[in-house]
Structure formats: C-alpha cells, structure tokens
Chain A
Amino acid sequence: MLFVELLMLPVLAILFEINLLNIEFALILMIATFGLAVVGTLLSAISVNTKAREVMLPILFFPMIIPIIICAVASTELVLGGSGLGDIRGWLQMLLIFDIVFFVLAGLCFDFILEE
C-alpha cells in the first residue's frame, strides 16, 4: 500500500504543482497508511469467508475507516495550506489514537476471527 502511494505521489505533485516533500506530509502518510492496513487486514480476514465476499469487504471497510480518512484529509488540507506541525497536532494525535485502538483491537480479535 505504501509502495503504491510512493508511486502515486510524484504524479500527484507534478499534476497539482504542490510540494509534498515535507516532514508533516510524511508523518500523515505513515500513520494513516498503518491504520488503513490494520483495519483492512482484519476485515478482509472476515470478508473472504463470507458468502458475498466481493460485496462484504467494501461494505465493512469503508464505514470503518472513516475516522482515519477524516483525520488524514483534514490534516493534509492544513499542510497543503501551509500549516506547520503545530497546527496539525490535534488531527495527528487523533489519527494516532485510532491507529493504536485499531491495532490493539485487531491484535486481540484476529485469532478470534480465524478459529474454527
């Protein structure tokens, strides 16, 4: 996922003429990608075994990642508007909190999902 993002970023930077090479943006990218990966792994473990697997993953995944998407979009918006690390601290903290919560829960739940 991070790899695809790294491929996309230069294209994005050129097309929109924005500077993405800063520490704030890298932080947002890392933290948000981590959260998305954690939730995605957990929910795909559920959805691959259901009857309607193609439908189940998006239905489960998109509502669940909304907190991460909201925080990432809001902080990216601030960074692109020229804000520094201090301005986006609140959003980054919330992003981190959701990451930690989802990571801990996913770690606890994973065996629980796979056992038969």
Chain B
Amino acid sequence: MTLIKKLCMPICSAIGNFWLLLAGVLLVADLWVIFLWAPRDTALGDIQRILYLHVPAAWVSFFAFFIVFCMCTWYFIKRSDKADRIAHASAEVGILFTTIFLLSGIIWAKPVWGVWWTWDPRLTTTLIMWLIYSAYLMVRAYAGSDKRAERWSAVIGILGFFNIPIVYASTIWWRTIHPQQMVGPASDPSNALPDPMRITLYFSVLVFTVLFFVLLNIRYNILSAERKIAIIVDQSNHERV
C-alpha cells in the first residue's frame, strides 16, 4: 500500500498543483476572450475565431518539437535518462497539439476553401511533421529494449527537427492558398492583424504554452513513475529467481 502511495505521489501532486489550476482558469478566460471579447471578422465571420486556437496549437507543436530536439541532443551528449523522458513526453504532447493544429485547420478549410483537405504545401509539410514524430514514438515502441529505444529515438528526434523550418517557411517559399503569417518575423507589416485580434491571439498563445507545460509535467511524471515500477518489478523478479 505504501508502495502504491509512493508511486502515485508525483502524479497526484502534478494533477493537484497550482499550474494545472492556473491552466484551467486561463483556458476559461481564453474562451471568453476568443468568443465574446474579440471582434467579429468582417470578411470571414465567426469562423475566423478558429485562428485563435489554430495558431497557438501550431506554435506549441513547433515549440514541443524544439524541446524534443534539445533534449535528444542533451541525451546524445550526456546519456541522461531524464532528458530522454522529457523528450518522450514532449513528443507526445507535441503530437497532440499538431493534431489539434491539423484538425482546426481542416474545420476552418471546409467553409472557407470549400474542401476539408487539399495537398497544399503548408498542409502537406505539416502532415509530414506529424508523421515524423509518430515515427519517433513508433521507434520507441518497436525498438525491443529500453536502451535501444532511447538511443534510436534520440537520433530520430535530432534528424526530424530539420523538417520544421520547412513547415514554417512553406507559405513563403511556395505559392500556397494558406494565409500568410500575420505575426512574427516572417509577417508582412501591411497585412498585420488589428490590435484587439492580435491581443487575443497573443493571450491564446500564452494560455496554450502554459497548458503545454502542465501536460508535459503530468506526462513526464507518469513516465518517471512507469520507469520506477519497471525497476521494482525487475528487482522482485530477480529476488524470486
């Protein structure tokens, strides 16, 4: 019983902690800002509000995969188990947000472009990014031993990151029907968002980032707990033999 308590402690403390509560409150506030406070777009109408979920999800997935890259490099240099677990957790959360990113794009595309999906460069490169990190998780699952899974997935995490600049730049390099960037370094000043919309977008990005760290933390604690359980089971098996 004490053993179970000891193992569950990190998870419970992560779920019950301040940051989760903060993320919850911020999400509700974000919904209010998106749906009630932000002005209605004159050209697209209410469907434009998906932007406030779409862009933050995109930012968080890029950020998550950047963390995967950093942690994989750290693992490569230091062989730290901790770095591997952070990379694993970050890749999972990153895939979740990429899925939100793709799905919100699909929902937006139907009324605006008239199709759910088209093989536009931006859409295709994003799907490829999603596939790379799915492959990353598959390597982990199929590697056989834990040590192998760690080393091989680290290689995939490092190599795979070099596709992300292509996803980001795809709207600039190719003729695409996807809207151009309206904020950030690659944006065109004449195409800038009006202030209330920009504030809503920035707030949404902030909320999603907090949510990302909360999810990352929970996932990391679960992976650590799993690792501890595996070690304990291993030891007890040895004792029995």
Contacts and interface: CB of A to CB of B under 8 A. Distances in A.
Interface of A: 39, 42, 46, 49-52, 56, 59-60, 62-64, 66-67, 70, 98, 101-102, 105, 108-109, 112-113, 115
B234 to A, nearest CB: 19
B158 A49 contact: no
Contact of B162 (A46, A56, A101): A101
Main secondary structure of the interface of B (DSSP, over half): helix
Given A64-B163, A66-B163, A113-B155, A50 B76 contact: no
Per DSSP, chain A at the interface is: helix
Given A60-B135, A70-B166, A50 B128 contact: no
A109 B158 contact: yes
B73 to A, nearest CB: 10
Q: What 10 pairs between A and B have smallest CB-CB spacing?
A: A63-B132, A50-B142, A63-B131, A51-B142, A109-B155, A46-B152, A59-B135, A63-B128, A60-B135, A66-B128
A49 B160 CA distance: 20
A60 B135 CA distance: 6
B110 interface: no
Given A66-B125, A66-B128, A109-B76, 6 more contacts: A59-B131, A62-B131, A67-B162, A108-B76, A109-B155, A113-B152
